[in-house]
Amino acid sequence: MIDIKDFRNDPDKYRKAAADKHIGVDVDALIKLDGEYKELFSKQQLLTAEKNQIGKQIGQIAGRMKKASDDEKTTLQVEMKSLQARPVEIKAEEHALAEKIATIEPERMDLLMRLPQPQASDVPLGKDDAENVEIKTWGTPKQFDFEAKDHVALGMELGMIDVERGVKVAGSRAYYLTGAGALLHQAILRLAFDMMVFEKGFTPQNVPVLVREPAMLGTGYLPAGRDQAYEMAHEDPLKFLVGTAEVSLTAYHQDEIVDREKLPLKTVAMSPCFRREAGTYGKDTHGLYRIHQFDKVEQVIICKNDEELSKKFHQEILENSEEILQRLGLAYRVVYVCSGDLGQGQVAKYDIETWMPSRESFGETHSASRFYDFQARRLNLRYKDEDGKTQFCHTLNNTVIASPRILIPVMETYQNADGSITVPECLRKYMGGMEKIETPQ
């Protein structure tokens, strides 16, 4: 959520952000409703102040009556009776104001929760992902001197993937990973998780993947992303399956004041993730690219309210993910995401796209996001600075690795002319020393 004071001071900044990010939100309606809310809230405060003042006056009169003469007491009793009548009137006025606020507040809050945070000044303007800007490449896309196969054909022939039975059991975009496919999937996740914990010093967490609505609202996945989330409508209170461990990791300290000395908090989780992929029918649906359930190792950093520090950590989480791809020997590129491809709360984002031979192009495998205090405001996640002033934290997150999508470039890049797949050396210790995946006997 944005700083309402900043919005009131410069609503055009947020109008521009909505236009740049192509997010439909009625800024004029929010200005109107917020103006009404401010006026009503101001009247509430005046009534509260008047009520407090009357209380003090009544107390003072009661004190004077103890020492007053009979005649003075009579006068004071009349004065007190007059004062005591006013709180009854105030209560009725407060009730009327509360009813008016209750009428406009749901719509005001809904608009406020949909209002996008302005992007960083260096983010390129653009309509969608086609206008993202390439800033770096690593490795050389694999070229084959034989007729290469895609990951589905390889997976079926080598007993690694079973889409047909996945669909039979769970419906569209479902799959089984079997045999060496399951081993390869787990090996990649373990490689990433171990690197983050034992080499990068991130604190591991095993997180809930079924969370309450405030966690989804707090991290910005609601209300705008409701159509992408699996909602457990029969649960009370309402719960959702997470599309990323980012939700659980970032919300861990919601409604808390974190010890400043413990910042930055660096956490990592390996978890299943669930996404409805609404509106993507017929798009990237072949094989394992766009599916409803997958596993992901996610990294989150919560730090002090400092833009330069946030930028530094943004580079750090990006480099962590790049390092995994480099260990796997996969060619990739990094793009700086344009305004139209940014989410509501993201100030800036880098996507990593890994070379996928069967697509003859790069496909997105990672997204590294910087939020500043957007998520922390929604989560009420704070710390006290050196002067004792309460500040909202900054938050960042990035995929370390997500599988089985990453199996696409791994399987296709490391395939051999005889139909086998060479296991990348960094994964062999997680696969019992297996060096090659061959057709089951």
pLDDT, tens digit (0-9, with 9 covering 90-100), for 343-381:
999 999 999 999 999 999 999 999 999 999 999 999 999
Both structure tokens of 253: 């300290």
Residue range 293-343, pLDDT digits in tens: 999 999 999 999 999 999 999 999 999 999 999 999 999 999 999 999 999
DSSP code at position 203 = E
Residue range 112-144, pLDDT digits in tens: 999 999 999 999 999 999 999 999 999 999 999
Quick one: pLDDT at residue 50?
87
Q: Which long-range contacts (CB under 8 A, 24 or more apart) does 92-97 make?
A: 93/43, 93/47, 94/44, 94/47, 97/40, 97/43, 97/44, 97/47
> How confident is the model over 149-163, as a mean pLDDT?
97
Superfamily of domain 129-437 in the CATH hierarchy: Bira Bifunctional Protein; Domain 2 (3.30.930.10)
Residue range 382-411, pLDDT digits in tens: 999 999 999 999 999 999 999 999 999 999
Instruction: Say if CB 362 and CB 335 are below 8 A apart.
Output: no
Q: How far is CA 132 from CA 164, 265, 270, 349, 372, in A?
A: 35, 30, 28, 10, 21
How many whole angstroms separate alpha carbon 190 and alpha carbon 188? 5
Quick one: pLDDT at residue 282?
65
pLDDT category at 168 given cuts 50, 70, 90 is very high
Instruction: Say if CB 114 and CB 23 are below 8 A apart.
Output: yes
Query: Which region among 47-56, 58-67, 349-358, 410-419 has the lowest average model confidence (pLDDT)?
Result: 58-67
Quick one: pLDDT at residue 1?
80
Q: Where in the chain is the domain with CATH 1.10.287.40?
A: 4-114
Quick one: pLDDT at residue 281?
63
> How confident is the model over 203-232, as a mean pLDDT?
96
Query: pTM above 0.75?
Result: yes
pLDDT category at 101 given cuts 50, 70, 90 is very high
Please give the residue that has the higher pLDDT: either 16 or 59. Answer: 16
Both structure tokens of 429: 């210790």
Quick one: pLDDT at residue 68?
75
Query: Which region among 68-72, 85-89, 198-202, 376-380 has the lowest average model confidence (pLDDT)?
Result: 68-72
Task: Look at residue 181 and tell me whether its pLDDT is greater than 90.
Answer: yes
Buried b (16+ CB within 10 A) or exposed e, 42-79: ebbeebeeeeeebeeebeebeeeeeeeeeeeeeebeee
Element (H, E) at 401: strand 394-403
Superfamily of domain 4-114 in the CATH hierarchy: Serine-tRNA synthetase, tRNA binding domain (1.10.287.40)
Instruction: Say if CB 412 and CB 150 are below 8 A apart.
Output: yes
Quick one: pLDDT at residue 116?
97
Provide the mean pLDDT of the chain: 94
Q: Where in the chain is the domain with CATH 3.30.930.10?
A: 129-437
High-pLDDT (> 90) share of the chain, % = 86
Quick one: pLDDT at residue 440?
82
* Residues recognised as catalytic: 275, 290, 364, 367, 405
Quick one: pLDDT at residue 283?
63
Quick one: pLDDT at residue 47?
92
Residue range 263-288, pLDDT digits in tens: 999 999 999 999 998 776 666 778 99
User: Beta-carbon neighbour count of residue 41 at 10 Å?
Assistant: 14
